[in-house]
Chains A and B, each alone.
Chain A
Amino acid sequence: QKEVEQDPGPLSVPEGAIVSLNCTYSNSAFQYFMWYRQYSRKGPELLMYTYSSGNKEDGRFTAQVDKSSKYISLFIRDSQPSDSATYLCAIDAGGTSYGKLTFGQGTILTVHP
């Protein structure tokens, strides 16, 4: 079993739709949860991170963590064509992990006008 499993998609939605991206993880020691966005032919860039269970909101984006279920989600409201990218969940064990991240497989999202 992979440490982090991500719904692979691909996902294609119309502009304005609400998008839900999801990951599950197996190691309860994981502490920090991140979402990276990667545009075509670019490196990933950090979109959001959370530490505790609950929701964190940033504009149209909401990250949700449920540690009891080992489940993390990213919601995008009022999706735009500029949101078309690959979204990667990433988890950091913290402590002496030296910032090593464990990534999900990535979900390719296309928002069409």
Chain B
Amino acid sequence: DVKVTQSSRYLVKRTGEKVFLECVQDMDHENMFWYRQDPGLGLRLIYFSYDVKMKEKGDIPEGYSVSREKKERFSLILESASTNQTSMYLCASSPEGTSNTEAFFGQGTRLTVV
């Protein structure tokens, strides 16, 4: 059973803080993703990685960075948190493949920046 685990369900951080969101998957998946979910906007891709130490920008990378030092772990970093980064953050993983690969999601981290 695929499991994607995000380290925190809820986080409250102050403006300007550096924030780390951690995600671990246990199915040896090559691809990992970070999305944010906002009402009326759906899920928007921030960054993704298709291999260890590889990263690619998604649609809204500004203000974020990522790290993938190990295959199972993909970290999202908010260099200097701002109130407009208050959101639900969802991590996902999927196996390697070029045709319809199901993405498995974590339970989400609701981040509030005050």
A79 to B58, CA, bound (A): 36
Produce 1/0 per residue, A34-71, CB < 8 A to B.
Answer: 10000001111110010100000000000000000000
With A42-B107, A43-B4, A43-B105 known to touch, is A49 a contact of B100 (CB < 8 Å)? Answer: yes
B88-108 CB mask vs A (1 if < 8 Å, else 0) is 001010100111111111111
In the complex, per-residue mask of A85-113: 1 if CB is within 8 Å of any chain B CB, else 0: 00010101011111111111110000000
Query: Does A75 belong to the interface (CB within 8 Å)?
Result: no
Cβ-defined contact, A43 with B90, below 8 A: yes
Q: Is B43 an interface residue (CB 8 A)?
A: yes
Chain A interface SS verdict (over half): loop
Task: Tell me which of B43, B101, B108 contacts A103 (CB under 8 A).
Answer: B43
* B102 contacts A46, C-beta separation under 8 Å: yes
A100 and B105 contact, Cβ closer than 8 Å, known pairs A94-B98, A105-B40: no
Residues of A within 8 A of B35 (CB): 103
Are A43 and B100 within 8 A (Cβ)?
no
Given A99-B97, A100-B48, A100-B58 in contact, is the A88-B102 Cβ separation under 8 Å? no
* C-alpha spacing A48/B16, complex, angstroms: 41
Say yes or no: is B33 at the interface (Cβ < 8 Å to chain A).
yes
Interface residues in chain B, defined as those with a beta carbon under 8 Å from any beta carbon in chain A: 4, 31, 33, 35, 40-45, 48, 50, 56, 58, 90, 92, 94, 97-108
A: residues with CB less than 8 A from B are: 4, 6, 8, 31-32, 34, 41-46, 49, 51, 88, 90, 92, 94-106
- 14 CB contacts below 8 A, A to B, read A4-B42, A8-B40, A41-B107, A43-B105, A88-B42, A90-B43, A92-B100, A94-B98, A94-B99, A97-B98, A101-B33, A101-B43, A103-B43, A105-B42
